[in-house]
Amino acid sequence: MKTNDLILQTITKVIVFLILLFSVDIFFAGHYTPGGGFVGGLMTSAALVLLLIAYDIKTVANLFPVNYIYVAATGLLIALVTGISSILRHKPFLTHAFNKHVHLPLFGETSLHTAALFDLGVYLVVVGVTMTIIQSIGEDK
């Protein structure tokens, strides 16, 4: 029996963006309010999973043509490089640097922090790991 997923697919098209936005928000707000790379990454994966449910694996793979293992590897690399960069500044491994008052042309006064880069690494690893697991299980017959 062929099912019609029209309602699901239409709703998904709207909701995926909301979830993605929320996940990005959670990711960036992590240093000041609850959230961070881990939950943000899980949320992003949740959006992708919703896509997987509404469409099929091939469609999603065409939509996001990435190998998620590379995503996880990139995340690990970013986290590691963030740590190593502090050694170059003659500080112990993983000593973060920050400036609370940076004036950027578009954002105004902004706080920049290398912890965000580290969190980005976490984010990418979580997305990569979750998607790798779900995709490999899903593709398996």
**Residues that bind other proteins in the complex, under the rule CB under 8 A:** 26, 30-39, 42-43, 46, 68-69, 72-73, 75-76, 79-80, 83, 93-94, 96, 98, 100, 111, 113, 115, 118-119, 121-122, 125-126, 128-130, 132-133, 136-137, 139-141
Closer to other proteins by Cβ: residue 7 or 137: 137
SS3 106: coil
Q: From start to end of 27-138, where are the E strands? A: 98-104, 108-113
Q: How far is the CB of 86 from other proteins (least distance, A)?
A: 10
Closer to other proteins by Cβ: residue 12 or 130: 130
The upper half-sphere exposure of residue 117, i.e. CA atoms within 13 Å in the direction of its Cβ, equals 18
